[in-house]
Chains A and B, each alone.
Chain A
Amino acid sequence: MMRDTAIKAAALAAILAVVAALAFLSPLPRDVKVLLQNLSIYIAIYAIYVISLNLEVGYLGLPQFGKVMFLIIGAIAVGGIATKVVLLIYQSYLLKSIGAAPLSNIGDYCMLYQYSAGSLVNQQLAQNPALGFGYFLLGVALAMALSAALGVLFAYPAIRLREDYLGILLLVSGEFLRVVTYYATPVACGVNGAVIPDPFAWASGEARTLVFFAITAALLVATFFVFDIVGNSPFGRTLRAIRDAETAAAVFGKDIVKFRIRVLALASAFAGLAGALLAYYFDYTILGAFLPIYTFIGWTMLILGGQGNNVGAIVGAAAYYAIQTLLDIYKNALQALLHADPTYLAYAVFGLAIILVLMYRPQGMVPEKPVKTIDLYTIRKGTVDKNA
């Protein structure tokens, strides 16, 4: 039901506005505000990531253990391609001020002067917000397009392989992509990691964080809106039918391959978006860091929050960071108590939480609700009218 989704999206936007007011405008102490700012941006980016994972896992029942692949693609689109486009634009300027053209010798650029080149480019971008925004859009669009294309590639094995084999294939493909791109310097400066020019260089300090939060929040609301519409449409209902009884869905004339292709394309594109946002937020990316653990962090959020509904995906991302932040706040006390780094305790806590949730509350914090489609709504309304 369109209206339902619109109400939920509006509620989400309102919550994000309150968060922004708390994190940026409130009279809270400065370090608390910085913590809130970082947290809210992380949660918003990961919420996009988990919402897209939810479409594959929660709606279609695809064992997506290679999700981190699309964060890699997002990072490559931003740090490997969009960054080079900006370097190309400022090529003559860089040649004048540094005496070297980055693109003519990528190896030297990556190893010797990418930080100085990055700050020079940032100074230029600061005077040209429109170009900065165009560069931001370019990175995002590339990330989404390339991720969608890669996602579609997996639709072919997805029809042929059983869920266990498919899960392993996706996991291993993620590692393959990571290893191959990490050690190839031309992709995104390989082991040096790529410095990424700041698209919002015109805003500095807290203002830059606020701009970034506003854009991320807007993208989260848009993502939620798109996925909730899709999930509650006849399309989403078909996905659940395929998840619950694939053969039956096929018998009723649903082309399962087509559905998988569309789901993989859509979900991968938005995971790529999350990857691009992470890259822009950090101003830096190193592809070797994208270990399979980031796939599983997404799954952890999804399991905690609840599969099969988009609200659960957002709640899961928030809950994950809430637990992590709580452990972080009591870090010193825990350290004294345990004689061990509390990060390890966080692992044990999350591990136990996943197991307990799967055992005692498999639906997660926010359970899946019956699909609300326009059809069902009109049919019910029709019956009510007839009775009246």
Chain B
Amino acid sequence: MINIYEFINNVLVPAIVYSNIYALASIGLSMTYITTKIPSFAHGDLAAVGAYAAFYLLYFLYGGLWPGSVYLAMPAAAVAGAAAAYLSYVGVFRPLIRRGASITVLMIASFGLHFLIFGVLAILDSIAQTAYGWNTRNFLLAPGEIRIPGLTQSQVTAVTSTIALALILAALYYLLNRTKFGVVMRASIDNAPLAKALGIEVERVYALSWLVIGAVTGIAGIYMAMIFPVTEELGWLRLPLIFVAVVVGGLSSIYGGVIGGYIVGFSMVLGFNYVLNPLGLPPEYELAIPFAIVIATLLLAPQGIAGLIAARRART
């Protein structure tokens, strides 16, 4: 008989936490892609910026982490992520797009941006380490998670990250479907020349959507930092899997990335527990499972799960 308690703790909880993290990170990358058509290699770095912003704020204000404090710092992560994303768009991508850069050129620029953000973050961390004596690498934000008696930290994170994902999705849905900005943004995405002809400042809309992208990804960074040791590469190391989630879900849909995130999280944890372990294969192969899924998706159905939406968009 399957032990329900073990199943929840060893399979369901980690799968949900992973899935929520990849789903949260995918939302931003999908939005990057549908607004400015950039599969950005600097996307993971926005998450790292968010995680470090939260960390620094908590250290400066309170001298450390204590239960529940990560949520006090969440706005800081969102603001820092939004600022980094806005600057990326206005400083790097917009000028290049104006010069008619191809997708490949934009991808390379995003890679340059990754180097830049990584380097600047790492220099700041080193300076903070020397100046204040804090350990600015290989820490977890988990001690800052809310503590609920009787529940482990992972169980709490599974609940809080699900709530965060649900709230963000609801907010995005409201923003895109119930506000004027949402209408303008969807118009700019669907048909930029027509939107321009109607007097919509498409570039300003994109700049604002980059703020949203950065804010969501900054928050994703906080949840990443709860289970993965924080370094400047926090997001960069997860980037291939974020790409997997976005592509499997369908590059051209915001909500597709959420489904993709869940496929990544569950395939890794289920594959680890029910395929690799019984067969005696190295546990590290859990990474290979989502990679295999995305390679198959790209070869067989490149539009991903949200393919119908992509097909409709391709016709326009």
Contacts and interface: CB of A to CB of B under 8 A. Distances in A.
Interface in B96-142: 96, 99, 101-105, 107-109, 111-120, 122-123, 125-127, 130-131
Contacts of A184: 282
Contact of B126 (A165, A175, A340): A340
B92 interface: yes
Contacts of B288: 176, 179-180
B287 interface: yes
Contacts of B291: 172-173, 175-176, 179
Contacts of B111: 296, 299, 354
B112 A354 contact: yes
A339 B127 contact: yes
A157 B108 CA distance: 21
B103 A163 contact: yes
A354 B295 contact: no
B119 A179 contact: no
Contacts of A338: 123, 126-127
B62 to A, nearest CB: 24
B80 interface: no
A175 B123 contact: no
A171 B295 CA distance: 10
A299 B244 CA distance: 22
Contacts of B299: 157, 160, 169
Classify the interface of chain A: helix, strand, loop or mixed: helix
A183 interface: yes
B112 A347 contact: no
A358 B243 contact: no
A348 to B, nearest CB: 3
A354 B285 contact: no
B302 interface: yes
Nearest to B112: A354
Contacts of B109: 354-355, 358
Nearest to A161: B302
Contact of B302 (A165, A171, A292, A339): A165
B119 A358 contact: no
Contact of B119 (A57, A162, A347): A347
Given A165-B251, A167-B39, A359-B95, A348 B116 contact: yes
Given A61-B104, A167-B104, A179-B291, A346 B243 contact: no
Interface of B: 33, 37, 39, 41, 92, 95-96, 99, 101-105, 107-109, 111-120, 122-123, 125-127, 130-131, 240, 243-244, 247, 251, 282, 284-285, 287-288, 291-292, 294-295, 298-299, 302
Given A176-B291, A339-B130, 9 more contacts: A164-B39, A168-B294, A169-B295, A292-B240, A340-B125, A340-B126, A340-B130, A354-B115, A355-B109
